[in-house]
Amino acid sequence: MDYNLIKIFLLLISNFATSYVSSNQEVQFLEQFGYLEVVSQSNALALRSPSAIQQAIEEMQRVARLPVTGQMDQPTQALLSKQRCGLKDTHLLRSKSTRKRHLRHIHRRRQTNAGQPILKWDKLNITYRIDSVARTIPHKGALRRVIHDAVHLWNGASGLRIEETADPHADILLSFETGQHGDMYPFDGPGRILAHAFYPMDGQGGDIHFDDEEDWKLHEDLQGKEVSLGSVAAHEIGHRQVSGPTTTTAPTNTHAPPMPGPTFQESAGSVPSPCDTEVDAVTTVRQEIFMFRGNWFWRFDLEGYLMEPPSPVDVFWGHDLPTPVDGAFELNDRVYFFVADKIYKYWGRRRIGVKTLAEVGLPAHLKSIRLAYKWVYGNEVRYYIWAEDDYWRIDTAHFKAEVDYPEKLLIIGKENYLGLKPK
C-alpha cells in the first residue's frame, strides 16, 4: 500500500473538515444558538460530519445576511464575538429541515422532562423582588425605578399584574450574577450573553439573571458602549414572563436594545379589518417584519407568521411618532420613519432626531414619499426613497440623497414596473 497516498488522503480529509469550522468552540456556538442539535459528549467536533457543519454554517450565514459560503470565513467568525441575543435563532431559521431538527430535539426534551409543570403562570397577580444590585449601578433606588418602568410596559398586556415586593419568596427574583452561579447556565463575561430568564414554574421559574460583568447603564447608550438595563429588563419581562407557554425549561437570553412590546391601556381606535389588505408601510427591524396601517402595526417573523396581535403605534413608540407612516427602514441599528415631509429617527423606542425631506436632499415641495426601503443584492446594500415619479439613493455615511439622483421610475404604459400608478 502506498502510505504517501494515505497521508495525502488524510490531509485532504482534514482540510475538508476544517474548512468549515476550526474548533469545538465554534461548533458549540452553532449548538448554543440552534443551528446544530446539542450532543452530550464533550468532543462535539468529533461527532459532526463535515456536511452537517457546513449546512449549519450556511444557515447561520443566511440568518445573518452574510454571503453563504459554508465556511468559517472572517465575516462569519466575527459573529462569534459580537454582542447578540442569547436566545436560539430558531424563529429566524430559513431552512425547514433545520427547523424540523430543532423541533424533534425539543420534542425529545419534553418527553425526557415529562411531569414538569406547564410553563405558564397559574395566577394573575405576580410579584418580583430585586435581590442584588449591579456593579455599575450601585444605587438601588435608581435601579428599582428602571425595573419598575420595564414592568409597567407590560402590566395588563396579558391580564397579569406584576408588582414589586420585599417578600424573599417573590414569584420573580431579579439578581446580578457572574460566571457559574448555580443554575447550569453560566455567564460568559463581558459581551454576547447579557441576561437570561426562566419560564414560569416552581423553583427558579420566572427568575431573571443579569450578567454583572457587563457595563450596565440605566437607559440606552447611543454609542453602544454600555448596556441598557431598561431595554434588557423590558425584553426579558415582556417576551418571557408575560408570554404564553413555550417549549423548553431552559432560560432564554437577550440583548440590547430590543423592541419591547406594548401595553394596551390606551385606546387607539378600532383595529383595522384583517380583510383589508392595504398597508401604509412595511419594513424589517431586528430580523422581524413590521407592517403599518394607520395607527396600528403588525409584527411577523421572516417566514410571515404573525408574532402577536396588532398593536397601537403610539403605545409602542410613544406619541412623538405621528401616523400614518409612509415608509421606514433600519440603518445602523436606528429606525427611520417617514411621515409626511418629516423623517423620525429612533433608537429602540426612543426618538433621537427629526429631519425634513429637504434636509436630506429631496425637493422642498415634496409633502410625502411613496416608499422607503433597503435593497440587498449579494454583498451590496442600498437604501432608496421613492416620491412622485422619481427615486433617490441615500448616501448612508451622511444620510443625504446621492448627487446623481433623482432618477425616473421605469414607466411601462400607465404603470411602473412595480404596478404603482404615477402621480
User: Known catalytic residues?
Assistant: 236
- Confirm or deny that 107 is annotated as ligand binding: no
- Confirm or deny that 148 is annotated as ligand binding: no
- Confirm or deny that 276 is annotated as ligand binding: no
- Confirm or deny that 207 is annotated as ligand binding: yes
Amino acid at 309: P
- Confirm or deny that 196 is annotated as ligand binding: yes
Q: Is 322 exposed, middle or buried (0-12, 13-18, 19+ CB in 10 A)?
A: middle
- Confirm or deny that 167 is annotated as ligand binding: no
Q: Which long-range contacts (CB under 8 A, 24 or more apart) does 76-82 make?
A: 77/26, 80/25, 80/26, 80/29, 81/191, 81/192, 82/192
- Confirm or deny that 2 is annotated as ligand binding: no
Q: Which residues is 383 bridged to in the sheet? A: 374
How many residues does this entry show for the chain? Answer: 423
- Confirm or deny that 372 is annotated as ligand binding: yes
- Confirm or deny that 122 is annotated as ligand binding: no
Identify whether the C-beta of residue 260 lies closer than 8 Å to the C-beta of residue 238: yes
Would you tell me how many other CB atoms lie within 10 Å of the CB of residue 305? 10
- Confirm or deny that 266 is annotated as ligand binding: no
Strands lying side by side in the sheet with 281-285: 281-285, 288-293, 296-300, 306-312
- Confirm or deny that 235 is annotated as ligand binding: yes
In 225-370, which ranges are E strands? 227-228, 252-253, 281-285, 288-293, 296-300, 306-312, 327-331, 334-339, 342-347, 350-356
Mark the binding-site residues for Ca(2+), compressed into ranges.
171, 188-189, 205, 207, 211-212, 214, 280, 326, 328, 372
Mark the binding-site residues for Zn(2+), compressed into ranges.
85, 181, 183, 196, 209, 235, 239
Mark the binding-site residues, compressed into ranges.
85, 171, 181, 183, 188-189, 196, 205, 207, 209, 211-212, 214, 235, 239, 280, 326, 328, 372
